[in-house]
Homo-oligomer: A and B are copies of this chain.
Amino acid sequence: MSNSKAELPVLESAAAPCCPPLGTAELSEPDAVRMAAAFKALGDPVRLRLFSKVASHEGGEACVCDIQDVGVSQPTVSHHLKKLREAGLLSSERRGTWVYYRVEPSVLAGLTALLDLDRRPAEVR
């Protein structure tokens, strides 16, 4: 199971180059569905910690064994990593015995761009 060669359009086509910043225009309903899916993936404490562990791991990647100490069982860790992959936030690659995860910057950049309030018209700030 590797999505470094694309795991298919990442579920319902992720959040990569999407949507003007929040202050500038209303989100369309389809855009809201896509972006909400990404936020939802970060909306669980265990997933957010796993994501953080991958992001801060040396070399920019981590194998499951490096990060699985988050207080839940191994199947649960695997389940959460799958969710993060499906959201387009992580990609994975098997190399020998281990599976390595790394952050996929594009979707993350879409989230940051969406949340950026400093690009709003001055009247709204």
Contact = CB atoms under 8 A, between A and B. Distances in A.
B124 A60 contact: yes
Interface in A76-125: 103, 105, 108-109, 111-112, 115-117, 120, 123-125
A91 to B, nearest CB: 14
Interface residues of A, number: 46
Interface string A29-68: 1001101110111111111110111011111100000000
B45 A124 contact: no
A36 B26 contact: no
A27 interface: yes
Contacts of A55: 22-23, 117, 120, 124
